[in-house]
Structure 1
Amino acid sequence: MSHSAQVVVIGGGQAGLAAGYHLRRLGLDFVILDAQATPGGAWQHAWHSLHLFSPAAYSSLPGRLMPAQTGQTYPDAQHVVEYLADYEKRYELPIERPVRVLGVHRDGRFLWVETDSGTWHARAVISATGTWWRPFLPAVPGQAAFGGRQLHTVEYHRPADFAGQRVIVVGGGNSGAQIAADLAYDTDLTWVTQRPSRFLADDIDGRVLFDVASARRRALDEGRTDTGGVASLGDIVAVPPVRQARDAGLLKASPMFLRLERDGVVWADGTRAEADAIVWCTGFRPALSHLAPLQLRGRRGHIATEGTRAVDEPRLHLLGYGDWTGPASATLIGVGRPAREAARGIADLLT
């Protein structure tokens, strides 16, 4: 079955919805294809204790403030899911789900979007699939020999699943710190980081991080000295559960181990720790396999962009994958501006 639209947006999470908002305001004909069966994007799959870094009003998509969550300064993941579901309904965004995009191809003046339920012909495409669907696991010697359970951030849900077990959490970012704090009370926890853990000041939250990321982008665009951005402040936002576990002395990071064995891990100095489970909070990579037919990746696998637009395919925009597609574009508060730029760029292209 064949369909057509001026613009096809791939992904119905926060980035796809922000793109839809601005495409609607510009009067363009578009459709959003979402592989998920229900609204909420990756937030509906997050671990149970996950909370935002910022208050609701500072975690909003364009046009609609996120309402505060009763009893919570920092809303939880379920509140975000409800907000996103309300957002797409409020703006009557044309979302088709569940539709999985298999590939994007060139077809003369059109881009051909192949899906598991037919094909779409479009004048432009916005890829907004995020990173959650492509978890990254580092290659560590002995991984295949370990006899316990290994899982990534995307598979972790609640500490009750590990009660009484010896658990190693690997990762010095926000996910690693939050999951380690989650497990600190009910498990025999070892928290491992590649480098010494760096907590941001307790009064820094997502509002400040967005301002810092935006200031860095302005400096780079204007040829001024690189401010270092968020990385210059630290790696971990001290949200209340992390702060509580840290202040109780339960978040003391060990350096990265050398290898895994059947019963646990071994450090370079010969120290060993037994483990029943290892949680790899080791980040993500952009989920871009659907763009492979366009052959846009360079030698390092990176798609070159100017803002959100792919340099070698001006009909394609990439949105929400991180700073390389817009400052803080992988956040709720940050995705609005690059989404607006992408929509405007497509409108200019079409006219």
Structure 2
Amino acid sequence: MEHADLIVIGAGQSGLATAALAPRHGFARTLVLEADEAPGGAWPRYYDSLTLFSPARYSSLPGMRFPGDGDRYPTRDEVVDYLRDYARRLTAEIHTSTTVSSVTRQDGAWSVRAEDGREFTARAVIAATGDYGTPYLPDLPGRAEFAGRVLHAAAYRSPDVFAGQRLVVVGGGNSAIQIAAELGGVADTTLATRRPIGWLAQRPLGRDLHWWFRYTGLDIAPIRRLLQKAPVSVLDDGRYRTALHEHGVDQREMFTRFTSDGVVWGDGSKEAVDAVILATGYRPAFPYLTGSGALDADGRPRQRGGIAIVPGLGFVGMEFQRSFSSKTLRGAGRDAGRVLSRLRRQAA
């Protein structure tokens, strides 16, 4: 059994940022437990062509600048390389291939058990596994009878295997737009949404939108409830709108149901479809916290700003945890610092 001052579950951007800041907040020994074979969280599993919508200068974790031209938009592989380089520089101990099965509190301390039977203890635990491991697949009418392929964007890698097919991409966010624009170059593709796409200019008045977020303070403003109700918008410098148009990707209102070989559109017309790709987001899931008292009846964290109702437990990396930039590379450090500060005071 290993003991530490702090155990961080997850070695993605949020877990690594937390581990980097832990010594500043009095946690001398930190263990990071990661289920995958290497640090990086969900980034290595994203589709091949993924490109950040934030410039490199706004895509850094605490203490390490994202390399290269600060105005460029890094690719998925560049982010993975950055995170793994960041992990190598940490003083924290990172245990990879370590899937956490349970976290329980006993006598004022936390006991963390891995699936392989190893046990760890700590006075504080931070869950930083995010939600990208739990893709949300809506229960669409007729899906069970559809003979074609249905997959979540989390399982999409590249357009090659879909060449020449009839496809529908469901969703109106950044990922849906990127995937549809890419698929349109090799396949007959439709983008299906429940509401019109909200486009945001990437560089209004000549500056990247993230500069304006920082200049106005919106990036760090604690307006979580307002942001959760805001409509989804897509950042674009013009390339994706152009690609959708040039590739003939049309946008339609979401289909009403599946058939055995396709979908039924809102006007009642039926169309044969080879595959449907659901860019329908993710849902938080912390199964290892079952029985800890930190989850409600639906499995959602009982927390405020990342601080659980159970003493000594925190969360980092949840969408709108405190601000617009939560669950991003640039925002992970701010949230982690606040949670670590609160947990330190609890332990004092």
Task: Give the TM-score normalised by structure 2.
Answer: 0.91
Q: Which amino acid letter does the alignment assign opposite residue 338 of structure 1? A: D
Match of 2:210 in 1: 207
Q: Which amino acid letter does the alignment assign opposite residue 311 of structure 2? A: P
- For the Cα contact (< 8 Å) 1:69–1:75, is it kept in 2? no
> Is residue 2:336 matched to residue 1:343?
no
Output the CA distance in 2 between the equivalents of 1:207 and 1:217. Answer: 11
Q: Which amino acid letter does the alignment assign opposite residue 77 of structure 2? A: Q
Q: Which amino acid letter does the alignment assign opposite residue 317 of structure 1? A: G
Alignment of 1:249-264 (within 5 A): 250-264=248-262
Match of 1:126 in 2: 126
Match of 1:11 in 2: 10
- For the Cα contact (< 8 Å) 1:53–1:206, is it kept in 2? no
Report how far residue 206 of structure 1 moved. 6.0
Match of 2:99 in 1: 100
Question: In the alignment, which of 265, 268, 271 is matched to residue 270 of structure 1?
Answer: 268
Which runs of at least 4 in structure 1 moved beyond 4 Å after TM superposition?
Answer: 228-234
Alignment of 1:51-200 (within 5 A): 51-68=51-68, 73-117=72-116, 118-200=118-200
Question: In the alignment, which of 277, 284, 287 is matched to residue 286 of structure 1?
Answer: 284
Report how far residue 245 of structure 1 moved. 1.2
Question: In the alignment, which of 321, 325, 333 is matched to residue 324 of structure 1?
Answer: 321
Unmatched tracts of structure 1, length 5 or more: none
Output the CA distance in 1 between the equivalents of 2:215 and 2:274. Answer: 40
Report the secondary structure of 2:126's partner residue. Answer: strand
Report how far residue 210 of structure 1 moved. 4.9
- For the Cα contact (< 8 Å) 1:134–1:284, is it kept in 2? yes
Q: Which amino acid letter does the alignment assign opposite residue 218 of structure 1? A: A
Q: What do the CA deviations read for 1:294-347 (whole angstroms, capped 9, x no partner)?
A: 13333554323222101x202110110111355422100111101111121222
Report the secondary structure of 1:284's partner residue. Answer: coil
Q: What do the CA deviations read for 1:218-271 (whole angstroms, capped 9, x no partner)?
A: 3649xxxx8x54975851111564133145373432101110011100023211
Output the CA distance in 2 between the equivalents of 1:251 and 1:176. Answer: 12
Structure 1, 237-246 or 154-163: larger mean CA deviation? 237-246
Report how far residue 273 of structure 1 moved. 2.1
Q: Which amino acid letter does the alignment assign opposite residue 57 of structure 2? A: A
- For the Cα contact (< 8 Å) 1:55–1:68, is it kept in 2? no
- For the Cα contact (< 8 Å) 1:126–1:316, is it kept in 2? yes
Unmatched tracts of structure 2, length 5 or more: none
Output the CA distance in 2 between the equivalents of 1:219 and 1:327. Answer: 8
RMSD across aligned positions (CA): 2.4
Output the CA distance in 1 between the equivalents of 2:124 and 2:162. Answer: 46
Output the CA distance in 2 between the equivalents of 1:120 and 1:173. Answer: 39
Report how far residue 215 of structure 1 moved. 2.8
- For the Cα contact (< 8 Å) 1:150–1:280, is it kept in 2? yes
- For the Cα contact (< 8 Å) 1:210–1:334, is it kept in 2? no
- For the Cα contact (< 8 Å) 1:326–1:335, is it kept in 2? no
Output the CA distance in 1 between the equivalents of 2:47 and 2:274. Answer: 20
- For the Cα contact (< 8 Å) 2:181–2:247, is it kept in 1? no
Alignment of 1:229-268 (within 5 A): 229=227, 235-238=233-236, 241-248=239-246, 250-268=248-266
Q: Which amino acid letter does the alignment assign opposite residue 286 of structure 1? A: P
Distance 1:11 1:240, change over 3 A: farther
Report the secondary structure of 2:331's partner residue. Answer: coil
Structure 1, 201-210 or 256-265: larger mean CA deviation? 201-210
Q: Which amino acid letter does the alignment assign opposite residue 318 of structure 1? A: F
Equivalences, count: 343
> Is residue 2:336 matched to residue 1:333?
no
